[in-house]
Amino acid sequence: MNEQNVQAADASPKPCLVVGHRGFSSVAPENTMASLLKAVEIGAGGSEFDVHATCDGALVVMHDGKVDRTTNGKGEIATLSLLEIKRLDAGSWKDPRYAGEPVPTLDDCLAALKNTPCRPVIEIKGANIADKVVAAVRAHNMVDHAYAISFNKDSVKAVRELEPGLSCALLLGANKETKIWDADKIVDWIVTQAEECNTTFVDLDKALLSAEIVANLHEKKLTVWAWTVDEAPMMDNLLAWGVESITTNCPDLLLTRVQAAAKQGQ
C-alpha cells in the first residue's frame, strides 16, 4: 500500500468521530489531564490537544506559544525548561477546583489514552517538531490509534514522509478571500493545499463548509473533519452533510446530536 492509499483508506464511511477540543474544555481547564480524562469519561471518540517544544526539547501540551493565559507563569514555552513548566498551575484560571493542575507532556496524554477508545488528535503547533511527535507516537505503539493535525504545511509533509501510517490532516481556516469565493473555488483551493502536503485528509473551519462543498470534497476522495462547533444546529448540519469528524468544546452535546442522527437514520 503506497502513502496515498494509506490515507485514502481512512476515508471509508464510519460514524462521525466526536473530538473534544483541548479535551472537554467547556468544563475543565483546556489541554490538561483533567480535561482529557473528562472527554474520555463521557465517551468522546477523540481528544484534541496542542503541542509545543520547551527550550530543552520536551513536548508539552498547551495551545498558546506563551504560558501567560492558562497558567500562573509568564514567558514563551520555547524559552522555558520542562521543569519550569511543570511547576506551573494550569488549572486555577478556569476554576479553583482545578488549582495545581499541571501542564501535561505529550507522553502523559498518549499514555492516558493508549488503552481507551478515545484517540489522541495531536495538533503540532511548534515548528520543526514533527519528528519528535512521530517518535512519541511510535514509542507508545499508537500509530494506528492517533491522528496528527497542523496548520503548518511543512509539519504535515514531514509526518506524511516519516510515518505514512499516522493519519495527518492539514488544518485550514476561513479568511476574507474564502468568504467571497464560490463553492467550486473553495473546493479547488482545499484540494490544492492538501495535494501540496501529500495528504487526503483535511480538518476545516466550519465556516468553509456547506453540503455542496462537503460532497465535492468527498468526490475528490478527501476525508473531511470540521472545527470548532459548539452549536447544535451546525452540528446537525455537518452530520447531515456527512463529515467524518467534528471537533467541539462541548463533546457531551455533540454526542447527543450524533445519537439523535443515528436514530433518525434507522
Contacts 24+ apart (CB under 8 A), 23-28: 23/47, 23/48, 23/49, 24/249, 24/251, 24/252, 25/249, 26/230, 26/249, 26/250, 28/94, 28/98
Contact 86, 102 (CB under 8 A): yes
Query: How many CA atoms lie less than 13 Å away from 258 in the CB half-sphere?
Result: 22
C-alpha distance from residue 60 to each of 26, 96, 132, 223, 240 (Å): 21, 23, 11, 28, 36
The rounded average pLDDT for each run of 10 residues, N- to C-terminus, in the chain (266 residues) is: 42 78 98 98 98 98 98 98 98 98 98 98 94 98 98 98 98 97 98 98 98 98 98 98 98 97 82
Q: How confident is the model at residue 264, as a pLDDT?
A: 85
Name which CATH class applies to 3-51+59-65+106-264.
Answer: alpha beta
pLDDT of residue 135: 98
pLDDT at 12: 40
The Cα 126–Cα 19 span in angstroms is 21
AA identity, residue 251:
P
| Sequence letter at residue 256 | T
- Output the pLDDT for position 51: 98
